[in-house]
Amino acid sequence: MGRWIPLWLPGETSHARAVDVLLVGLLISTLLVLTLLFYLLLRFAIHYRAGNVAANRDHRIRKSWYLEATWTVATMVAFLVLFVWGARLYLNLYDVPKDALPIYIVAKQWMWQAQHVGGQREINEVHVPVGRTVRLIMSSKDVIHSFFIPAFRVKHDVLPGRAEGIWFEPERAGVFHLFCAEYCGTDHSRMMGRIVVMSQPAFEQWLARQDTDGTLAAQGEKLFRQFGCSGCHTAGAAVRAPLLDGLYGKAVPLADGTMETADERYLRDSILQPRSQIAAGYEPLMPSFAGRISEGELIAIVAYIKSLGATGRQP
Amino acid sequence: MSDAPSYLTADNRLRSWFLTTDHKRVAILYFATITLFFFVGGAAATVIRLELMTPQGDLVTSDVYNRMFTMHGVVMVWFFLIPSIPATLGNFVVPLMIGARDLAFPRLNLLSWYLFLIGGLTTLYAVFVGGIDTGWTFYTPFSTMYSNSHVVLAVTGVFIAGFSSILTGLNFIVTIHRLRAPGLTWYRLPLFLWSLYATAVILVLATPVLAMTLLLVALDRFAGIGIFDPAKGGDPLLFQHLFWFYSHPAVYIMILPGMGVVSELISCFSRKPIFGYKFVAWSAIAIAVAGFFVWGHHMFVSGQSVFAGLVFSFMSFIVAVPSAIKVFNWTATLHKGWIRFDAPMLYALAFIGLFTTGGLTGLFLACLAYDVYVTDTYFVVAHFHYIMVGGMVTAYFGGLHYWWPKITGRMYPEYWARAAAILIFFGFNMTFFPQFVLGVLGMPRRYHVYLPEFQVWHVMSSFGASILAVAYLLPLLYLGWSLFFGRRAPANPWGATGLEWQTPSPPPTYNFETTPSVTRRPYDYSVSGQAHAQNA
Amino acid sequence: MRRTPELAPQFVDLDQQQDAASLGMWTFLATEVLFFGGLITLYCAYRTMHPDAFAAAARHTRIAIGAGNTAIMLTSSFLVAWAVWCLRLNQGRIAALLFWCAAALGVAFLGFKGVEYAIEYRERLVPGFNFVAGGAGAGAQQLFFAFYFVATGLHAIHVAIGVVVLIVVGWRSRARAYSTRYHAPATVAGLYWHFVDVVWVVLFALIYLPGRS
């Protein structure tokens, strides 16, 4: 029966299972209310139908205050519970674990491109290891898309000009559907892919087998010189620019007095719109690379900057 | 019974109809046009459901399919749902219910119909020359920079029709404030007027923001000004905020009049005053106000901040409370009533069930973590169809049948009407309930082709849609028949309270012989079940 | 009570009609607030995202023309208020003169705006046509000017409509169509013109003042 009429898609991560428990809670609340409502409607409609002269219609409820207050408060309490429950799970989803394995996703009409830090590339497939938290850093080359893995119960829009992130931790090996969930043109419904979850050793072997142009960070290092970034962003340069060693993940004081964390989004914005967030103590001299740098190059450079840790090169 | 001709027969020249300032005739003009648009939108839906019977894209190409669902949304939202009850039933009934001769600004009323017509024809023309494929939500940068379709034309049509909405809302606000009959205080107003008043406030405050947003999209596309271009620093999220700031209150524009109709029907066909009148009245205002603060629940996965997500989710739960209050009060009204099951009452009862179901699934969507899973899937499609079709269209049909004798002077055939109501109910559920299942299985929306495992639910849904299509044709046939052969209607065929029933069916052009005055509370059905004349 | 010709059939008396007209105009102005408000919200969002680019772009505007136009608008509003006051005192001919002066100032406003647009076109500042901006945040500077042209363009359309309305109201004042008892159309026209004026003042602050403190 389940194969012929699909009724349920199993969740494959702990987050997915938590979402399913939430669903059960929502369903139970809904069914309780609907059952009560349909029962009352049916009972009143039948018992108090005009043809039933015998029904007792004396002592109609006049003062409605207590009833109104009761059902209003009960509704609000139930809603508050559901709100908190959903909010906590949501906050959990947006709290990305720091040691997650990053994979870069670029969406374009009508395909998904994935880049691993080792430089391995995929089209419409993302290979990930079991039991490790995976973090996706996603951006679009053109219109808004949305990265949706039903089995993991996660979805996030993928925007042009911005990096967005989600995370998940797969719990068993298998292949799961990837859909685009934001209408993006002619072949929106064909923009499907596969999430291929493999055991850790199989994943390592798979990574090793792929052709790469060097690791993502190594590619980024080449581009760093090619675009002239090293002309200012090295010690002893003629123009004074922030040094980038160990920058990733640090708090950066800005010229307007606020503090900003140097995450992927900050690094991208610094390259594309350098005047929007100027580091404190520096002149707004950096030119914008918007329109001159592709998504793929941007990802590589960001990966390179991330690798400039104080303790040496780490992806 | 006076000898004065009714508004229908007072003048038969064509220009007396197209240059009328009589609110009743304007209502008829609107009725004809929105019925036309309902069937245009319905035709698009037919293509959609036929295509979705099979997983492959074998009926039409993807480009055509994308134009179909866009047209379905644009036409149904702006040219059917938004104007339906306010511009047809509202325009007809408001001055009568209030004891006035017409609305405050009759010529603006006629202008609003012409704007609606021009806007509608512009959009139809856009469809005719190739259509648009952006979805009714026009998200940027797809609509401004990537779509190869007639976006500017379509958007212009909606822009013009928006002014029609604004004028209707403005007219209702001034009319309800200033033209009430002597003795008709706010707390003696029928609840239909409270709902229309709340609707009018939203029409007047939300629609201008849509107008601005669509204007910017058109300029961006037409002149390339780049205001939503990410490469220039334009923010695609900003479009979404501006769009949904209107489009969420818009759904309350659509549902509040329906709720108002249901209050009238439940009261009349239970022969009881509405339980908790003040609560139902103020809940309409509460929905209108709170509805302005929830738009971000359409954007939980869009990239807006987590903080915004929390605020919008909380407010979305809050805005559901006044709707719940209405449902409880309607149900309590049935208690110890004298309930009759005429067609309008069948629609009212169906509304309560279907709207509550749709509304409860709205809680799933308000719930942040669950919305992450089901947003942009068929779950959302099912949710809003339950509210819009199961709720709003059902209420519209209920009101149409209820006031049909007043509007046309004829009774419709009761058994056909009940049969159609029941068929609509079954066809509707069969069409849209499977879509909840599809959503929970993870099928995204706006998909032309889909994975084969989803097919069985789509077949069920399409089958239901075929029943629904037949069911919606039935009223067209028997209501049309009744215009010529229906029994002549008395002034008050339902024995209802309300000033509109104190004048002949159909009313004379000037509505009332003498201005009525009101001394009794609304819905004053005595214990024995007889209605008292309001101005006795 | 005797129904005078100005009394429309749906109203019971002239007071009800004038009340309705007034409420109608205030409601319409509320829609205009939301209309321009949406645009101004967009401006505020973009200015927060790109403060330097907006400041740099704003420095390209011609503050002399902007300030002059502001003075023109404020003066014309004063004249309209004065004219409505005159109608209350049954001084139709003086009111007509004042309305027409205000309309003339409105035309002057549009004239100066046209000159300003021509200058901006020459300086290649028109997005979608010939926009070229150098230096910092060129893209966001284009956003500023896109807002500038849309906002002032829409405002100019409202001014043009207002000029026509003022001319008509002036003409009817002179024809003694208004009296102490009945001058709602003029009051309502005045409300509209004052609103157009207020919108200009807000736009002036958003367009001409950034980057110039």
What's the token pair of residue B316?
Answer: 């979305």
Peptide bond into A10 cis (omega under 30): no
CA distance A165 to A136: 5
Do the chains contact at A276 and C139, CB–CB below 8 Å? no
Task: Identify the weakest region by mean pLDDT among A255-259, B122-126, B288-292, B470-474.
Answer: A255-259
Mean pLDDT of A101-108: 94
Domains delineated in chain C: 16-207 (1.20.120.80)
pLDDT recorded at residue C128: 82
CA distance B502 to A221: 85
* pLDDT at position A44 over 70: yes
Place of tokens 């190739």: B130
Do the chains contact at A284 and C50, CB–CB below 8 Å? no
Mean pLDDT of A108-126: 93
Shortest Cα–Cα distance, C107 to chain B (Å): 25
pLDDT recorded at residue C137: 66
pLDDT recorded at residue A52: 87
Q: What percent of chain B has pLDDT over 90?
A: 89
pLDDT recorded at residue C135: 60
Query: Does the fold of domain A216-307 match that of domain A101-209?
Result: no
CA distance A190 to A185: 10
Strands A174-180 and A145-149: antiparallel
Shortest Cα–Cα distance, B377 to chain C (Å): 29
Buried b (16+ CB within 10 A) or exposed e, B408-429: bbbbbbeebbbbbbebbbebbb
| More confident of the two residues C28 and A99 | C28
Domain layout of chain A by residue ranges: 14-92, 101-209, 216-307
pLDDT recorded at residue A65: 87
Task: Identify the weakest region by mean pLDDT among A121-125, A153-157, A183-187, A284-288.
Answer: A284-288
Nearest Cβ partner of C128 from B101, B207, B224?
Answer: B224
Q: What is the pLDDT of residues A302-315, one digit of tens each?
A: 888 888 875 444 33
Do the chains contact at A45 and B349, CB–CB below 8 Å? yes
* pLDDT at position B296 over 60: yes
Architecture category of domain A101-209 in CATH? Sandwich (2.60)
What CATH class is the domain A216-307?
A: mainly alpha
Measured between CB atoms, does A269 come within 8 Å of chain B? no
Q: What is the DSSP secondary structure assignment for residue C207, as one 8-state letter?
A: H
Architecture category of domain B21-236 in CATH? Up-down Bundle (1.20)
How many residue pairs bridge chain B and chain C with CB atoms within 8 Å of each other? 117
Q: What is the pLDDT of residues A65-101, one digit of tens each?
A: 888 999 999 999 999 999 999 999 999 999 888 789 9
How many residue pairs bridge chain A and chain C with CB atoms within 8 Å of each other? 22
pLDDT recorded at residue C134: 66
Amino acid at A230: S
Mean pLDDT of B288-314: 96
Shortest Cα–Cα distance, B125 to chain A (Å): 22
CA distance B186 to B177: 9
Best of A143, A175, A192 to disrupt the B interface by mutation (most B CBs within 10 Å)?
A143
Tell whether the torsion through CA atoms of C42, C43, C45 and C50 is positive or negative. positive
Query: Taking CB atoms and an 8 Å cutoff, what residues of chain A touch B442?
Result: 9, 148, 150-151, 177, 179
Mean pLDDT of B385-408: 97
Shortest Cα–Cα distance, C151 to chain A (Å): 24
Tell me which chain A residue has its CA closest to the CA of residue C51. A276
Measured between CB atoms, does A124 come within 8 Å of chain C? no
User: Quick check: A315 and A303 in contact, CB under 8 A?
Assistant: yes
Measured between CB atoms, does A306 come within 8 Å of chain B? no
What's the token pair of residue A284?
Answer: 């707004």
Which residues numbered 286-305 in A keep a CB inside 8 Å of some CB on C?
A: 288, 290
Residue A38, CA distances (Å) to A125, B344, B350, B357, B382 in order: 47, 19, 11, 11, 20
Q: What is the pLDDT of residues A247-281, one digit of tens each?
A: 888 888 887 778 888 888 888 888 887 777 788 88
Task: Identify the weakest region by mean pLDDT among A1-15, A100-114, C52-66.
Answer: A1-15
Residue B75, CA distances (Å) to B43, B82, B83, B258, B280 in order: 11, 10, 11, 19, 31
How many residue pairs bridge chain A and chain B with CB atoms within 8 Å of each other? 259
Q: What percent of chain C has pLDDT over 70?
A: 96
Q: How many helices (H) and strands (E) does chain B have?
A: 16, 0
What's the token pair of residue B256?
Answer: 């509040």
Mean pLDDT of B303-313: 95
Measured between CB atoms, does A238 come within 8 Å of chain B? no
**Which strands form A134-140's sheet, in the order they lie side by side?**
A121-123, A111-116, A101-108, A134-140, A164-168
Tell whether the torsion through CA atoms of B367, B368, B370 and B375 is positive or negative. positive
Of the candidates B122, B37, B27, the one whose C-alpha atom is nearest the C-alpha of residue B78 is B37
Q: What is the pLDDT of residues B336-382, one digit of tens each?
A: 999 999 999 999 999 999 999 999 999 999 999 999 999 999 999 99
Mean pLDDT of B242-267: 97
Q: What is the pLDDT of residues A185-221, one digit of tens each?
A: 999 999 999 999 999 999 999 998 888 878 888 888 8
Residue B420, CA distances (Å) to B340, B469, C196 in order: 17, 11, 53
pLDDT grade for C2, boundaries at 50, 70 and 90 = low
Q: What is the pLDDT of residues C107-161, one digit of tens each?
A: 999 999 999 999 999 988 898 888 887 665 677 888 999 999 999 999 999 999 9
User: Quick check: A262 and A279 in contact, CB under 8 A?
Assistant: no
Shortest Cα–Cα distance, B490 to chain C (Å): 26
Q: What is the pLDDT of residues B501-531, one digit of tens each?
A: 999 989 999 999 888 888 888 888 864 444 4
Do the chains contact at C146 and B106, CB–CB below 8 Å? no
* pLDDT at position C64 over 90: yes
Mean pLDDT of B285-306: 96
Tell me which chain B residue has its CA closest to the CA of residue C30. B205
Q: What is the pLDDT of residues B427-450, one digit of tens each?
A: 999 999 999 999 999 999 999 999
